[in-house]
Structure 1
Amino acid sequence: MMWYFSQKWQHNVALADADNQLTYNELVNAVETRRAWLADQKVSRVALFMDNSIEWALFDLACQQANICCVPVPVFFSAQQTEYLLQASASELLVVGPTQANTLEEVSKQTPFAKVLFQRLHPSAAPLLPAGTHKITFTSGTTGTPKGVCLSNESQLTVARSLASTIGLAQVKHLCLLPLATLLENIAGIYAPLMVGGTVYLASQAERGFQGSRLTQPQAMLSLISLQQPNSIILVPELLAFMVLACQQGWQPPASLEFIAVGGGKVSAALIEQARALGLPVFQGYGLSECASVVSLNTNNADQPSSAGKLLPHAQARLENGELIVSGNLFLGYMNQPESFYPTEFATGDLVSFEGDYLHIEGRCKNVLINSFGRNISPEWIEAELMASQCFRSVIVFGEAKPFCGALLVLAKADMPHNAIQATIDKVNAGLPDYAQIGDWLVSSEPLEQIEGLITSTGKPIRNAILSHFHDRIETMYEMNQCANF
């Protein structure tokens, strides 16, 4: 029997989008018809290049049933990244939505399923994959070149089971706000709700107000949440900051919301508390693709807002020189990197600490800066505190080998006066030790994502590129401060 089917839920709505909805009975039948069609194609690797929709979920589940490797293609990848993904994974079949089909050079053919097209691909050689690979999820990385993380079905379902049991929301209604090619939304937004008889609403980019990976029509997202009245959603820190601002400006979050998971970056405890005071039941977690997504999470029953929560039941961890080493449920290895296959532990690259059973993320090992007084400082910590002020769209903290930390700021409101910026910095500095305080700052007149090469396609800053781009301004800032203090 399929893992997501129970007789007691057979008439419940399992999946819904703007065009259709399927009960659990109908879901099983729909997955089976797609499994049979995929089996007839006689392929081993299928790439999914579609907007969030019922069909995305059906083909993902059909690949599981057919024992075919699923390769999600993020709709926010560049054309070059998409081409690389398809070639590197040697996908043999591309299942594509109508909108995405228009971006491809080759003409797509119609499948037996409405609004689903396909292309046969002809890879020259198969990729080197660890045995048991059922999904290849691509992370853009800081260089922009996607890296293929190989996962088994069981590793993904293990995380989903942990989430379902730990969060404890029965027959939850979940609204998917992140792209389904994002592993977190795939596992926590589809698999986990289906395990408890829940309903998953799959909104398109237009409904969500997104263009690629960016929120461009925020009012559309708020309207969608108000309309759908979900019990749970998943946010990245930028979306949480936006929702807090929306609440401050009068938007009322629906009373139906019981659990808002936030991950993908460090969030300050101040922002979490601020969100909760405004009626947003926010819980921070931590995870990464190499661990099949979520590793730790705060919940209603175990909550420390300053932390990323307790380890989920399937996960084990230890520290090595402050770095988090995870075991218990890992990826199978990186595609085409046999030296990475079948790990028993994974060094995350994240600096962490434990307070009792609660995991605290301090920053990335490679991002740690050492000031001219020899103090080790994690810039993410200071950035999270500054972002919690709601005054900045982006913050990059720097200060390697310098006497004090500086900050590059992108303002949330372009007309924010100098004295208001300084007042905000002063307020944040008051809560920081002297070595971590911001001594001076610069403002970028452009959002970082509008400057080519500074942000990955998933919205993460490429620090070295940013510091290089603003190098002259940063050096001038320090020189002026040195002269002033001489």
Structure 2
Amino acid sequence: MGDAVDDLNRQAAARPEGFAFRDAHGTITYEGLAQRVAGLAADLEDRPKTIGILAPNGIDWVVADLACKLAAKTTVPLPPFFSPEQLIHIVRDADIQHVLCIGESMAAAAPPDVPRTDIGASGEADPGVLATRNKADRWRRIIYTSGTTGQPKGVILASAQIESSVDALIAAVGAGSDDRYLSVLPFALLLEQICGIYVPLRVGASSYLADGVAAACRRGLTEALVDLVDAVRPSVMVLVPGMLAGWVAALRRTAQRAPDSLRFVAVGGAHIAPRLAAAAWRCGIPAHEGYGLTECCSVVALNRPGERRAGTAGKPLPGLDVEIDDGEIVVTGPNVMAGYVNDVAHRGCWRTGDLGALDDEGYLTVYGRLDNVIVTSFGRNISPEWIEAMILAEPRIERCFLIGDARPSATAVIVASETGGAWFAKAGHAEVLALIGRLCAAAPEYARPQEFILTDDAELGRHGLLRRDGRPERVAIARHFASPPEAGYARGRLMGGR
């Protein structure tokens, strides 16, 4: 098993003028990348052990990451979508003593009182040091996740764990030098680092690094994604379900299809409804569902090209053992983390806290979080993510949260999308319930929402019901919308300021 620095050294020697990465500012060859990595690594030799990276997706991010590996620094990506308070927590929690950033805007966003270096200001050096001074086996990465409660938690991953995941993904996807990867998710996410940097370097594929596309899609500007995919004509991408839904809706509006260059689009990070996946395939998007978590190097199971089973997350990656213990998904293998920052080291299997099942052929189905399960007053258990994914397959719906603990039935809290606002404003109570019923037709009757509440992002924001990454504060949402009709929450009533 090699590492990313060895891969860069090998590619630079074999085809120095080959195209490695491209971003909005230009293209860099393998030789040019090796020279820049060597130059920055030399500057980092005397820097502190733990270094943060705060930069947009682009070639500079790749340079910073590989230079830290070469210099055996503990690297901590600082998510630009985290709040200043969260970034300060990460700096203190991980004991970050230096930050690599881009330009004045990123430097201003970096936590105060921490020395910083502009990545672009570093020079070049003889790339021969990639072979003679590579210390990547002593490198480790700390990935901070927003977690389910409280402050972000730092997941510690050593080089061997990440490289094992790289090799497993290459085998599962059949990645090769002919691939063209389009990176649209932030590099603060470990999966995007693996798929956008390490896999292309290992197989000699090209990678286009786009910044701001995910944020644009969250604002409803999905045309940015459509235009970019048409221009780059990638063969492989990774998306979250929300971006896939926006892409499908945009293609439908204009009666277009995705480019035929696409052979594999992995979709993960949240549940994907079967209706959405089917719609994606009809639009020419080869969507393949997967499942994973940062504690297991981001990917545990994935549908393979030509072996996809709709409604499942596919089979476990090579080298991973997945079992179901009392309904909970349990993972064992070389990709499992070393532990959390400032906590005891972790060894052995990882209990994911997710509910799932394995069929006779080894395909994994994921139902939702164990601690999110809704128990109705009739004793029925409902995984909210399962039903929410079905409802979110509808382009007129931007957000959906299921509540209903200790109630006779579930209620869907809905935020209309930009394109769906007009429909919801005119639709009657029965029409909305009929829509929900059609979307949830595949669910058992007890799991289908029998009531709904329409709200908006302003209402959610005023009451602190969403985290900065858009994920729900489920306990707070259930409490906020728990009032009976006589207290002001009539069934189907429009909440907020519409």
TM-score, L = length of structure 1: 0.89
1:225 aligns with 2:229: yes
SS at match of 2:402: strand
2:337 counterpart (328, 331, 351): 331
The offset of 1:459, in angstroms, is 2.2
Q: How far apart are the structure 2 equivalents of 1:112 and 1:433?
A: 55
Deviations 1:354-392 (A, max 9, x none): 112101001110011111111111111111111123231
Kept after mapping to 1: 8 A contact 2:156/2:338 = yes
Kept after mapping to 1: 8 A contact 2:391/2:440 = no
SS at match of 2:186: coil
Amino acid at match of 1:227: A
1:184 aligns with 2:191: yes
Kept after mapping to 1: 8 A contact 2:481/2:489 = no
Unaligned segments of structure 2, at least 5 residues? 124-136, 493-498
Q: Where does residue 446 of structure 1 map in the other structure?
A: 457
Kept after mapping to 1: 8 A contact 2:485/2:491 = no
Q: Where does residue 438 of structure 2 map in the other structure?
A: 427
Q: Where does residue 475 of structure 2 map in the other structure?
A: 464
Kept after mapping to 2: 8 A contact 1:101/1:108 = no
Alignment of structure 1 residues 48-87 onto 2, 5 Å: 48-87=53-92
Q: How far apart are the structure 1 equivalents of 2:339 and 2:115?
A: 34
1:245 counterpart (233, 244, 249): 249
- 4+ residue runs of structure 1 moved beyond 4 angstroms? 104-113, 473-481
SS at match of 1:248: helix
Q: How far apart are the structure 2 equivalents of 1:33 and 1:467?
A: 53
How many correspondences in the alignment? Answer: 462
Query: Which deviates more from structure 2 when the two are superposed, residues 247-256 or residues 283-292?
Result: 247-256
The offset of 1:20, in angstroms, is 2.5
Query: Which deviates more from structure 2 when the two are superposed, residues 390-399 or residues 272-281?
Result: 390-399
The 3 A distance-change label for structure 1 pair 334 and 226 is same
Alignment of structure 1 residues 78-157 onto 2, 5 Å: 78-98=83-103, 99-104=105-110, 106=112, 111=117, 113-114=119-120, 134-157=140-163
The offset of 1:62, in angstroms, is 1.2
Q: How far apart are the structure 1 equivalents of 2:459 and 2:297?
A: 30
Kept after mapping to 2: 8 A contact 1:96/1:116 = no
The 3 A distance-change label for structure 1 pair 111 and 464 is closer
Query: Which deviates more from structure 2 when the two are superposed, residues 165-174 or residues 466-475?
Result: 466-475
Q: How far apart are the structure 2 equivalents of 1:269 and 1:116?
A: 48
The 3 A distance-change label for structure 1 pair 9 and 357 is farther
Report sequence identity in percent: 33
Q: Where does residue 375 of structure 2 map in the other structure?
A: 370
Query: Which deviates more from structure 2 when the two are superposed, residues 70-79 or residues 224-233?
Result: 224-233
Q: How far apart are the structure 2 equivalents of 1:422 and 1:374?
A: 23
SS at match of 1:60: helix
Amino acid at match of 1:181: A
The 3 A distance-change label for structure 1 pair 477 and 453 is closer
Deviations 1:237-291 (A, max 9, x none): 1101111101111143222222111100111222111110111111111111100
The 3 A distance-change label for structure 1 pair 477 and 353 is farther
RMSD (Å), alpha carbons:
2.5
Q: How far apart are the structure 2 equivalents of 1:110 and 1:458?
A: 25
Deviations 1:313-361 (A, max 9, x none): 02111111110111102111000012xx132111100000011210100
The offset of 1:113, in angstroms, is 5.0
Q: How far apart are the structure 2 equivalents of 1:321 and 1:108?
A: 46
Alignment of structure 1 residues 262-281 onto 2, 5 Å: 262-281=267-286
The offset of 1:431, in angstroms, is 2.9
Q: How far apart are the structure 2 equivalents of 1:289 and 1:301?
A: 26
Q: Where does residue 296 of structure 1 map in the other structure?
A: 301
The offset of 1:219, in angstroms, is 2.2
The offset of 1:310, in angstroms, is 0.7
1:203 aligns with 2:214: no
Amino acid at match of 1:231: S
Query: Which deviates more from structure 2 when the two are superposed, residues 189-198 or residues 328-337?
Result: 189-198
Q: How far apart are the structure 1 equivalents of 2:69 and 2:114?
A: 24
1:39 counterpart (26, 42, 45): 45
The offset of 1:8, in angstroms, is 4.1
Deviations 1:384-443 (A, max 9, x none): 111123231111112211111111111122222124422212313433222112111111
1:357 aligns with 2:362: yes
Amino acid at match of 2:107: A
Amino acid at match of 2:275: A
Unaligned segments of structure 1, at least 5 residues? 118-130, 482-486
Q: How far apart are the structure 1 equivalents of 2:379 and 2:236?
A: 44
SS at match of 2:306: coil
Amino acid at match of 2:377: S
1:25 aligns with 2:36: no
TM-score, L = length of structure 2: 0.87
Query: Which deviates more from structure 2 when the two are superposed, residues 99-108 or residues 190-199?
Result: 99-108
The offset of 1:10, in angstroms, is 3.5
